[in-house]
């Protein structure tokens, strides 16, 4: 692991890492989210990084750029997800798709959970908890399963079937609450911290973003340090977008690339709070709105990592866009139908965004674009909504189907 200190995103106060420290005591849990700061000049000289990193490596290959050591039996199976490349897809000449749906629990959250599990073990905790719309929960449940950690999970009762099934199978202690994700978050934080459990809530635990930033690292390593023009990802609490900005920026600071991709954060029209905060400009102030979208993973009205997201985004030069639920659902089928990548709604939102930005002329067909697909479609099959429309044939009907032309199905 690397040497580091923590710094408040708002007031800049520096902290030495210590057990139980999650946010700046002066600025509070939302304004005072902490970021992990390394000595990049030293790191730059530490290794010939391009010789260290491999396109097929797991998250473990980035250990010297992370605030935690790896010690579990499954670390080396986290990360290292595919970067698909297609020519002339979706109107883009060089199209990349980073698909984190092919992973232990089927979502991007595995990159954060493995950091949390290792950190909790390192600091001697016996219990770990998180609040989640579903993916962080199922990821933590499965990734902590082989360790001695007891795992408490706070989720809204609306959690999709696939994510709940993963939790049930993993034997996590599930507190399913008839409320929003936003309130489940508050409840978890109060109960978890009072009981001295390790907190795996991305937005308050500064280390989790560090795990997530490896997605950005991998895009650059797997693309042989060629930098795409745009990288598009869905935004809920704001941690993933922050992690992409930070990951790209760190590779720039290490001298591994000469520029960074422009990062675009896509939200659902019904849950676009981070976008609204960003567009109001500095000083960024958290707001709370109602949230309603088919994309459960980003159905967040009180985004906890909004200050970091807006700050990193400003530095990156990227911006936020929103798309409708209809556009998201259409994108699921278009993505799977043209590439074989089956995404959950939030995972398909970047494609919906790309189509919108192509139409607006913001992105051009000649631009290199990378879509970050953060979750597997199997996580939420009900979102597809067309399943009951599939016609069922009798044996006789099936035999007769192809007696004439073949396109009757």
Q: Which of residues 182-221 bind its own copies (CB under 8 A)?
A: 183-184, 187, 190-191, 194-195
Q: Does 38 bind its own copies (CB under 8 A)?
A: no
Nearer to its own copies, 4 or 154 (CB): 154
Nearer to its own copies, 29 or 176 (CB): 176
CB of 312 to its own copies, least distance (A): 30
* Local structure of 386: helix, strand or coil: coil
Q: List, as one string, the DSSP characters of 18-66.
A: -TT--B-TTTHHHHTBEEEE--HHHHHHH--HHHH--TT--GGGGGGGS
Nearer to its own copies, 103 or 201 (CB): 103
The helix (H) or strand (E) run that includes residue 406 is none
Q: What φ, ψ does residue 266 adopt, rounded to 5°?
A: -110, 130
CB of 81 to its own copies, least distance (A): 9
Binding letters toward its own copies, positions 362-401, x by CB under 8 A:
--------------xxxx-x--x-xx--xxxxxx--xx-x
Q: What φ, ψ does residue 320 adopt, rounded to 5°?
A: -110, 150
- Residue 377 and residue 107 in contact, taking contact as beta carbons nearer than 8 Å: no
CA distance 333 to 330: 6
Among the listed ranges 220-228, 254-262, 334-342, 366-374, the one in contact with its own copies (CB under 8 A) is: 334-342
Q: Does 52 bind its own copies (CB under 8 A)?
A: no
Location of structure tokens 């459990």 = 197
- Residue of the chain from 12, 16, 148, 178 that contacts its own copies (CB under 8 A): 178
CB of 89 to its own copies, least distance (A): 8
Q: List, as one string, the DSSP characters of 257-326.
A: -SS-PEEEEEEETTB-HHHHHHHH-SSP---------S-GGG--SS-TTHHHHHHHHHHHT-EEEEE-HH
CB of 161 to its own copies, least distance (A): 5
- Residue 212 and residue 345 in contact, taking contact as beta carbons nearer than 8 Å: no
* Number of residues counted as binding its own copies (CB under 8 A): 80
CA distance 231 to 287: 26
Give the CA distances from residue 164 to residues 33, 35, 133, 195, 380, in Å, rounded to whole numbers and listed in that order. 29, 31, 10, 24, 10
Q: Does 23 bind its own copies (CB under 8 A)?
A: no
What are the residues facing 234 on neighbouring strands?
266
Return the structure tokens found at 181: 């994700």
Nearer to its own copies, 44 or 402 (CB): 402
Q: Does 284 bind its own copies (CB under 8 A)?
A: no
CB of 93 to its own copies, least distance (A): 14
Site for its own copies in 156-175 (CB under 8 A): 157, 161-162, 164-166, 168-171, 173-175
Q: Does 326 bind its own copies (CB under 8 A)?
A: no
CB of 304 to its own copies, least distance (A): 18
CB of 257 to its own copies, least distance (A): 23
Q: Does 338 bind its own copies (CB under 8 A)?
A: yes
- Residue of the chain from 104, 130, 298, 371 that contacts its own copies (CB under 8 A): 104
Among the listed ranges 44-52, 98-106, 230-238, 284-292, the one in contact with its own copies (CB under 8 A) is: 98-106
Q: Does 148 bind its own copies (CB under 8 A)?
A: no
CB of 115 to its own copies, least distance (A): 15
Q: Does 234 bind its own copies (CB under 8 A)?
A: no
CA distance 368 to 303: 30
Give the CA distances from residue 208 to residues 83, 117, 394, in Å, rounded to whole numbers and listed in that order. 22, 10, 52
- Residue of the chain from 10, 33, 35, 105 that contacts its own copies (CB under 8 A): 105
Q: Does 77 bind its own copies (CB under 8 A)?
A: yes
């Amino acid at each position: 692991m690397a040497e580091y200190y923590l710094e408040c995103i708002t007031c800049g106060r520096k902290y030495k890492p210590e057990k139980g420290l999650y946010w700046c005591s002066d600025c509070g849990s939302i304004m005072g989210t902490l970021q992990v700061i390394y000595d990049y000049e030293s790191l730059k000289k530490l290794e010939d990084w391009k010789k260290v990193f491999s396109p097929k490596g797991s998250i473990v290959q980035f250990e010297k750029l992370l605030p935690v050591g790896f010690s579990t039996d499954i670390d080396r199976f986290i990360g290292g997800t595919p970067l698909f490349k297609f020519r002339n897809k979706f109107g883009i000449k060089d199209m990349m798709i980073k698909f984190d749906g092919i992973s232990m629990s089927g979502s991007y959250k595995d990159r954060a959970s493995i950091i949390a599990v290792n950190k909790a073990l390192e600091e001697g905790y016996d219990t770990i908890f998180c609040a989640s719309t579903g993916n962080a929960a199922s990821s933590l449940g499965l990734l902590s399963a082989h360790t001695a950690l007891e795992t408490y999970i706070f989720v809204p009762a609306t959690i999709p079937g696939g994510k709940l099934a993963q939790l049930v199978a993993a034997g996590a202690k599930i507190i399913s609450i008839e409320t929003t994700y936003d309130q489940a978050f508050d409840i978890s934080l109060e109960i978890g911290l009072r009981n001295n459990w390790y907190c795996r809530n991305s937005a308050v635990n500064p280390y989790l973003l560090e795990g997530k930033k490896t997605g950005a690292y991998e895009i650059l390593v797997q693309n042989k340090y060629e930098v795409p023009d745009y990288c598009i990802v869905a935004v809920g609490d704001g941690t993933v977008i922050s992690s992409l900005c930070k990951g790209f920026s760190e590779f720039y600071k290490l001298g591994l690339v000469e520029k960074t991709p422009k990062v675009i954060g896509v939200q659902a029209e019904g849950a676009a709070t981070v976008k609204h905060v960003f567009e109001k400009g500095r000083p960024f102030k958290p707001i709370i709105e109602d949230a309603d979208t088919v994309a459960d993973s980003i159905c967040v009205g009180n985004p906890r990592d909004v200050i970091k997201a807006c700050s990193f985004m400003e530095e990156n030069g990227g911006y936020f866009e929103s798309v409708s639920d209809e556009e998201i659902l259409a994108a699921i089928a278009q993505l799977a139908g043209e590439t074989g990548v089956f995404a959950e709604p939030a995972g398909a939102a970047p494609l919906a965004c790309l189509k919108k930005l192509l139409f607006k002329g913001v992105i051009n067909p000649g631009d290199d674009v990378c879509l970050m697909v953060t979750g597997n479609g199997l996580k939420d099959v009900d979102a597809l909504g067309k399943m009951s429309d599939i016609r069922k044939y009798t044996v006789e009907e099936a035999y007769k189907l192809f007696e004439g032309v073949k396109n009757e199905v």
